[in-house]
Amino acid sequence: MIADRIQAVRERIARAAERAKRDPAEITLIAVSKVKPAEDIRAAYEAGQRDFGESYVQEFQQKAPPLHDLADARFHFIGKLQSNKTRPAAGLFHAIHTVESVKIARRLNDQTQRPLDVFLEVKLSDEEAKSGMAPESVSEVADYVRECENLRLLGLMTMPPWSEDPEAPRPTFRRLRELAESNGIRELSMGMSHDLETAVEEGATYVRVGTAIFGKRVRPQ
Ligand SMILES: *Cc1c(COP(=O)(O)O)cnc(C)c1O
Burial of 21 (0-12, 13-18, 19+ CB in 10 A): exposed
Q: Choose the residue to mutate in 2, 33, 78 for probing ligand 1, maximizing ligand atoms within 8 Å of C-beta.
A: 78
Q: What is the pLDDT of residue 99?
A: 98
Residues 6+ apart with CB under 8 A from 82: none
Residue 186 pLDDT grade (very low, low, confident, very high; cuts 50, 70, 90):
very high
Q: Over 90: is that where the pLDDT of 221 sits?
A: no
For ligand 1, atom 14: residue with the closest CA: 78
> Could you tell me the distance, in angstroms and rounded to a whole number, from the CA of residue 9 to the centre of ligand 1?
14
pLDDT, tens digit, 9 for 90 and up, residues 137-176: 999 999 999 999 999 999 999 999 989 999 999 999 999 9
Compute, in angstroms, the gap from residue 126 CA to the centroid of ligand 1: 19
Q: What is the pLDDT of residues 9-48, one digit of tens each?
A: 999 999 999 999 999 999 999 999 999 999 999 999 999 9
CA of 84 to the centre of ligand 1 (A): 23
Residue 149: the pLDDT is 98
- Mean pLDDT, the chain, whole residue set: 96
Contacts of 165 (CB under 8 A, 6+ apart): none
pLDDT tier at 192, thresholds 50, 70, 90: very high
User: What is the percent of the chain with per-residue pLDDT over 70, rounded to a whole number?
Assistant: 98
pLDDT tens string 103-126: 999 999 999 999 999 999 999 988
Distance 147 CA to ligand 1 centre (A): 30
The dihedral sign for the CA sequence 195, 198, 201, 205:
negative
- According to the model, what pLDDT value does residue 81 have? 97
Residues 92, 108: contact at Cβ < 8 Å?
A: no
CA 214 to ligand 1: nearest atom: 8
Residue 220 has pLDDT above 70, yes or no: no
In this prediction, what percent of the chain has a pLDDT beyond 90? Answer: 95
pLDDT of residue 219: 61
Q: Which residue lies with its CA nearest to atom 7 of ligand 1?
A: 193
Query: Residue with the nearest Cα to atom 13 of ligand 1?
Result: 78
- HSE-CB at 205 with a 13 A cutoff on CA atoms is 14
CB 157 within 8 A of CB 122: yes
